[in-house]
Amino acid sequence: MGLFDKIRNEFIDIIEWVDNSNDTIVWKFPRYQNEIKMGAKLTVRESQIAVFMNEGKIADVFQPGMYTLETQNMPVLSTLKGWKFGFNSPFKADIFFISTKQFIQQKWGTKNPITLNDTRFGFIELRAFGSYAFRVTDGGKFIKEISGTNENFSTEEVAEQLRSLIVTKFTDAVGEGNIPVEKFAANMEELSKLGQEKLNVDFNDYGLTITKFLVENVSMPEELKKEIFNYSRLNTIDMNKLAQFNTANAIKDAANNEGLGGAGVGMGVGMGMGNMMSNVMSNMNQGLNSQNNNGLNTPPPLVQFHVVVNGAQAGPFNMQQLQKMATSGTLVRASQVWKAGMANWMAAESQPELASLFMNVPPPIG
């Protein structure tokens, strides 16, 4: 190296960062023991800030623009250096450029299932993943809390440090969002908004802001999906139609098990199902008679029971129908029955209205 080159490299008089990457957040200006010349030109481009540090302490922060470095525009560094009356000699300082652009398409996900306590389904395990975008809003905080004195700091390093925080805050957001678990798929936007709000409470402490947070998928075990599906159906299904459907299935099962008395059972259940329409019509006629009499002389409601037949709910049946079912063996003393006003299903023999049905029924052949 010639004498001219040595003199030229002895002092730094141009300070800038031309960023050719898409993932670099912090880049340290390579001083290599050279001193910065007082009066040097500092260029801070759009979506950048420059942070000067002295012996590990943050000094002055420069926003986008062009600067001639003098004691007047470096008040903190001048104080740290003790330049009370101005100083024109070269000086040493660490200079970090920080990108403040928005970093998009950052991925997040739950490495392990997150556990939630649902009032209806108990403890459930969920997995979720999505994407987010962020930017540095306070360069001083970010260097102090996250990057430290690393000469080069990328988005991947941010993701590694903050991934667990993202999952924790998302879990909190789900727990406090009061969104039923069966409606997660239809409320991705609301979950995303809750997650972003939760995350920014803590991310601001690191000099970061989450500009976008998206929940793209929430998955759960297949067993839970089936349970939620059945629960949703019960909330919306017409119970009378469900009873008819179960009765039809019971008849089909009975027909397939003739060796176990299925034919008789099928006939009994079929009889009950066939009488359902007559029950409906009877109730309609009672309603019409009541209206015609202006609400007077309304006949008392019929006593009707639902019966469990072949594991399926059937009915309701009136006393005449129940008598025939008892005679055919479809209704026995241990059959589970239920009527309006009962808290639970109970054995038929425990109901006073049904006890008389079994008096004339012969006992099983021993």
CATH 3.30.479.30 domain residues, the chain? 103-225
The helix-helix angle for 188-203 and 155-176 (nearest 10°) equals 120
**Local confidence pLDDT in tens for the 366 residues of the chain:** 444 444 444 567 899 999 888 889 999 998 766 688 888 999 999 999 999 998 888 999 999 999 999 888 888 888 888 776 666 678 888 999 999 999 998 888 888 888 877 777 778 888 888 999 999 999 988 988 888 777 888 888 877 777 778 888 877 777 776 777 777 777 888 888 888 888 888 888 889 999 999 988 888 888 877 877 776 666 555 556 656 666 666 666 666 665 444 444 444 444 444 454 445 444 544 544 544 444 445 455 567 888 888 878 887 888 888 888 888 788 888 888 888 888 888 888 888 888 778 776 566 555
Q: What is the DSSP string of 1-66?
A: --HHHHHHHHEEEEE------SSEEEEE---TTPEEEEEEEEEE-TTEEEEEEETTEEEEEE-SEE
* Phi, psi dihedrals of residue 31, rounded to the nearest 5°: -85, -30
Look up the pTM and report it. Answer: 0.56
What tokens were used for 55?
A: 């012996």
Helices (H), the chain: 3-10, 75-81, 139-142, 155-176, 188-203, 222-236, 239-255, 262-274, 276-292, 319-328, 352-355
Which H, E and C letters describe 240-291, residue by residue? HHHHHHHHHHHHHHHHCCHHHCHHHHHHHHHHHHHCHHHHHHHHHHHHHHHH
> Could you say which DSSP state residue 183 is in?
G
Sign of the C-alpha dihedral, residues 177, 181, 182, 187? positive
Q: Is domain 103-225 given the CATH code 3.30.479.30 in the classification?
A: yes
Place of tokens 């019409």: 288
